[in-house]
């Protein structure tokens, strides 16, 4: 599975794997794909440096990338405490009431939230970049709009390509004008932040909108036949995030969450603002129901919602409260029915891709 | 583009075209596809017979099908008047207020609604079937659940295959148990009634759920690359509805509506209950906004909403009220940017399909 983009980046297959887990990202690159490590969970730059050291040791010189979350707009001198102060008390009460209804205990004294939202803040993302450019990353992806112009320049100075996620052709053209090199067209069915346009329509529309920039198809892709479909739509590669969550290498640290993912069907996700304040697809739970309930206060805008719920999510995960426990994941969760190694996922992807090509050639009479 | 299903039906290409217009359906079959005429707009069986006569004269012996709307559940002895009586007065007032706000005049004295919703009622659908089985239709599709068992038997007795639309794997398995022969997996991005699961995920899930029944991929398909993607996902054909709306043969009878369709982008549709009471994708207009407005009374359940708005939609269309004028259409409306003949659409589809196959073979190193 070779395209111009995968050749440029030095990957054997045009399969890009986004994951918050270094062990998964490294295994994707070793399997011949292009692993992209999500940095949003790293609060301190030191933690990121430690994991990038680990990536260096475990990728055998194969290429990989980093995904940060950096808003294009600069907010000067705003600290996390300033943002915390903007959260209405009624929302804090609603969080506590919802947790109490489900009997979720508080965190032990002195235990901080493990699920850090701080990566959403520009100053944190910038300190991560100061670290990242010391490593031979080949691609810097931004999950939230175009990165600021100086960051794009800095990446290019280091020979690093810049990718950005887009949910509409207009959004994609905006990235192109900002000097972005690779557009990830993220369809409605994708896990995480996503727009209204489905991959089947979004991919070719974005390909045409930003031609000749390379486009990766994201959303609804977890099998070889879906890889073939994404590439048939004109993409130069596919971008997979959800499928890695149930791999052996994933560090979910929650057997219950793994079980919920393995059991979920394609209709068991919801596009909700419960997690970050912007619509993000995730497992539907009584937690997302609480935030989508017209009788509740409703989610706050980004980044307030993320800060509001950070401790709550840590508590739900720590105490494995079944009715509330969720995670960002796409509609392909219905196809994630067994725990496999990253290599086994890759083998299935390449075999399924070959079968799909055989089949479509037969249909075409070739 | 030959599959087992298209061969069985005697069509050159596994491209199924759904349309309410006989001239479009016949042109699809003449172009080598399989035209499926939508019968919902026919109130009287005589009108259907007249148009099926016309189809016979204009399809040159090539195969075609019929699409009816028939609920699986039987409601004995209920007339349209009984259902009309169930509509709350507040909803009727809201319709009139919304029309008055936009200066939509009433219909002239004695002029009935042209946009008949009566096809939704089982007795009407049954009188249509009495006519339909006198013609050599090859496929009977039902847009709303499985048809009743006696209808399936009657179709099979006439050598007619039965197809039904499904929005989830569970829904598809239900059809299989009801003896349906062909499943149309209708993704979120499709025009008309549609569920939450996008085509990229729905198609392979339904293929696996009902194996070995043939599945058609529907939703988000209007170009040859999208046809290739649908077939790569395991479908035995593709089902296209929206793309024909802007063909030369389409009888929209509204130059303004045609202009709106040609100008719309992929984000200009909405999945709304405004039209029938069930979620159906359509152009977003101030009419759909009015029914999605939390301050309004909201849509009634099917079939009440359809009866409630029938005259209003006729008035909006007759007087071409720009802000309110819409139609069911899928997200591919963004790709419908010029008026072409059905044959030209077909030529573009087959050329685009061949290009997509060439491209994907290159990526696969073949």
Edge to edge, the sheet with strand A192-193 lists A192-193, A280-283, A269-272
Q: What is the pLDDT of residue B302?
A: 85
Question: B232, A229: Cβ pair inside 8 Å?
Answer: yes
Closest Cα in chain A, distance from residue B59 (Å):
24
Q: What integer is the mean pLDDT of B11-22? A: 97
Region of poorest pLDDT, from A37-41, A58-62, B153-157, B192-196: A37-41
* Facing residue for B2 by CB, picked from A219, A359, A365: A365
Residue numbers in A near B267 (CB within 8 A): 168, 195-197
What are the residues whose beta carbons fall under 8 Å from the beta carbon of A166, sequence distance 6 or more?
Answer: A172, A174, A175, A183, A184, A185, A186, A206
* Facing residue for B360 by CB, picked from A231, A332, A335: A231
- For testing contact with chain B, the best of A1, A194, A201 (most B CBs within 10 A): A201
Report DSSP state, residue B37.
E
What percentage of residues in chain B have a pLDDT greater than 70?
95
Q: Which residue has the tokens 């019968």?
A: B39
**Which carries the bigger pLDDT value, residue A43 or residue B344?**
B344
Question: A360, B189: Cβ pair inside 8 Å?
Answer: no
Q: What is the pLDDT of residue B82?
A: 82
Q: What integer is the mean pLDDT of B109-121? A: 61
Is beta strand A192-193 parallel, antiparallel or unpaired with respect to A280-283? antiparallel
The low-confidence residues of chain A, meaning pLDDT below 70, are 71-77, 112-121
Q: What is the pLDDT of residue B80?
A: 72
Closest Cα in chain A, distance from residue B220 (Å):
5
Residue numbers in B near A363 (CB within 8 A): 1-3, 14, 231
Residue numbers in B near A231 (CB within 8 A): 359-360, 363
Q: What is the pLDDT of residue A121?
A: 66
What percentage of residues in chain A have a pLDDT greater than 70?
95
Residue numbers in B near A354 (CB within 8 A): 364
A254 shares contact with chain B (CB less than 8 Å): no
Q: Where are the beta strands (DSSP E) in A144-298?
A: 161-166, 182-186, 192-193, 215-218, 237-240, 269-272, 280-283
B85 shares contact with chain A (CB less than 8 Å): no
Interface of A with B in 194-253 (CB under 8 A): 195-202, 204-205, 219-221, 223, 225-226, 228-234
Interface of A with B in 23-62 (CB under 8 A): none
* Facing residue for B225 by CB, picked from A204, A334, A357: A204
A327 shares contact with chain B (CB less than 8 Å): no
CB atoms closer than 10 angstroms to residue B156: 14
A363 shares contact with chain B (CB less than 8 Å): yes
What are the residues whose beta carbons fall under 8 Å from the beta carbon of B366, sequence distance 6 or more?
Answer: A357
**Phi then psi dihedrals of residue A267, to 5 deg:** -95, 10
Closest Cα in chain A, distance from residue B125 (Å):
31
Q: What is the pLDDT of residue A290?
A: 98
Closest alpha carbon within chain B to A217: B200
Cα–Cα distance measured from residue A56 to residue A5, given in angstroms and rounded to the nearest whole number: 22
Q: How far is the CA of B210 from the CAs of B120, B179, B234, in angstroms?
A: 27, 11, 12
CA atoms within 13 A on the CB side of B205: 30
Question: A197, B331: Cβ pair inside 8 Å?
Answer: yes
Question: B223, A204: Cβ pair inside 8 Å?
Answer: yes
Interface of B with A in 122-181 (CB under 8 A): 168-170
Residue numbers in A near B209 (CB within 8 A): none
Closest Cα in chain B, distance from residue A279 (Å):
15
B334 shares contact with chain A (CB less than 8 Å): yes
Q: What is the pLDDT of residue B97?
A: 97
CATH number at B4-363: 3.20.20.70
Report the residue count for chain B. 366
B351 shares contact with chain A (CB less than 8 Å): no
Cα–Cα distance measured from residue B61 to residue B59, given in angstroms and rounded to the nearest whole number: 5
* Facing residue for B226 by CB, picked from A200, A354, A365: A200
Cα–Cα distance measured from residue B279 to residue A224, given in angstroms and rounded to the nearest whole number: 31
Question: A226, B220: Cβ pair inside 8 Å?
Answer: no
Closest Cα in chain B, distance from residue A190 (Å):
10
Q: What is the pLDDT of residue A21?
A: 97
A335 shares contact with chain B (CB less than 8 Å): yes
User: With 60 as the cut, is the pLDDT of residue B115 above it?
Assistant: no
Cα–Cα distance measured from residue B185 to residue B170, given in angstroms and rounded to the nearest whole number: 11
Closest Cα to residue B38, out of B315, B256, B328?
B328
Q: What is the pLDDT of residue B72?
A: 57
Q: Taking each helix axis from N to C terminus, what angle separates B224-232 and A342-363, rounded to the nearest 10 degrees?
A: 120
* Facing residue for A198 by CB, picked from B189, B356, B360: B189
* Facing residue for A364 by CB, picked from B265, B357, B365: B357
A191 shares contact with chain B (CB less than 8 Å): no
Question: B233, A234: Cβ pair inside 8 Å?
Answer: no
Name the token pair of B191: 């025009």
Name the token pair of B173: 């398995």
Q: What integer is the mean pLDDT of B249-276? A: 96
Closest Cα to residue B67, out of B88, B39, B91?
B39
Interface of A with B in 260-319 (CB under 8 A): 265-267, 294
Q: What integer is the mean pLDDT of B152-172? A: 97
Q: What is the pLDDT of residue B41?
A: 79
- For testing contact with chain B, the best of A200, A238, A349 (most B CBs within 10 A): A200
User: With 80 as the cut, is the pLDDT of residue B119 above it?
Assistant: no
Question: A363, B2: Cβ pair inside 8 Å?
Answer: yes
Question: B232, A225: Cβ pair inside 8 Å?
Answer: yes
**Which carries the bigger pLDDT value, residue B27 or residue B310?**
B27
Region of poorest pLDDT, from A76-80, B54-58, B162-166, B188-192: A76-80
Question: A197, B188: Cβ pair inside 8 Å?
Answer: no
pLDDT in tens, B43-85: 778 899 999 999 999 999 999 999 988 765 656 667 777 888 8
Query: How would residue B306 be classed by pLDDT, with cut points 50, 70 and 90?
Result: confident
A85 shares contact with chain B (CB less than 8 Å): no
Buried-state track B216-252, b at ≥16 Cβ within 10 A, e below 16: bbbbbbbbbbbbbbbbbbbbbbbbbbbbbbbbebbeb
């Amino acid at each position: 599975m070779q395209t111009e983009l995968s050749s440029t980046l030095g990957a054997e297959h045009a399969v890009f794997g986004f994951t918050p887990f270094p062990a998964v990202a490294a295994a994707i690159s070793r399997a011949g794909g292009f692993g992209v490590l999500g940095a949003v969970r790293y609060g301190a730059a030191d933690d990121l440096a430690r994991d990038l050291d680990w990536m260096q040791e475990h990728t055998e010189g194969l290429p990989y990338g980093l995904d940060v979350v950096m808003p294009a707009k600069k907010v000067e001198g705003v600290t996390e405490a300033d943002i915390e102060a903007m959260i209405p008390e009624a929302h804090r009460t609603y969080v506590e009431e919802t947790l109490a209804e489900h009997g979720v205990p508080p965190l032990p004294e002195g235990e901080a939230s493990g699920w850090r939202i701080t990566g959403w803040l520009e100053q944190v993302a910038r300190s991560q970049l100061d670290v990242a450019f010391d490593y031979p990353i080949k691609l810097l992806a931004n999950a939230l709009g175009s990165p600021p112009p100086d960051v794009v320049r800095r990446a290019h100075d280091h020979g690093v390509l810049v990718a950005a996620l887009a949910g509409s052709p207009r959004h994609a053209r905006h990235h192109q004008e900002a000097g972005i090199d690779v557009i990830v067209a993220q369809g409605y069915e994708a896990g995480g932040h996503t727009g209204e346009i489905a991959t089947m329509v979004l991919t070719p529309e974005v390909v045409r909108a930003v031609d000749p920039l390379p486009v990766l198809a994201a959303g609804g892709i977890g099998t070889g036949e879906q890889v073939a479909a994404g590439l048939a739509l004109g993409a130069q590669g596919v971008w997979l995030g959800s499928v890695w969550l149930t791999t052996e290498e994933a560090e979910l640290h929650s057997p219950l969450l793994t079980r919920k993912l393995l059991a979920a069907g394609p209709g068991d996700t919801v596009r909700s603002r419960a997690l970050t304040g912007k619509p993000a697809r995730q497992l539907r739970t009584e937690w997302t129901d609480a935030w989508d309930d017209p009788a509740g206060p409703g989610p706050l805008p980004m980044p307030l919602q993320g800060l509001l719920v950070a401790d709550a999510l840590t508590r739900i995960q720590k105490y494995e409260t079944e009715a509330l426990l969720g995670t960002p994941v796409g509609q392909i969760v219905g196809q994630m029915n067994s725990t496999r190694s990253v290599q086994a996922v890759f083998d299935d992807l390449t075999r399924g891709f070959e079968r799909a090509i055989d089949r479509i050639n037969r249909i075409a009479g070739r």
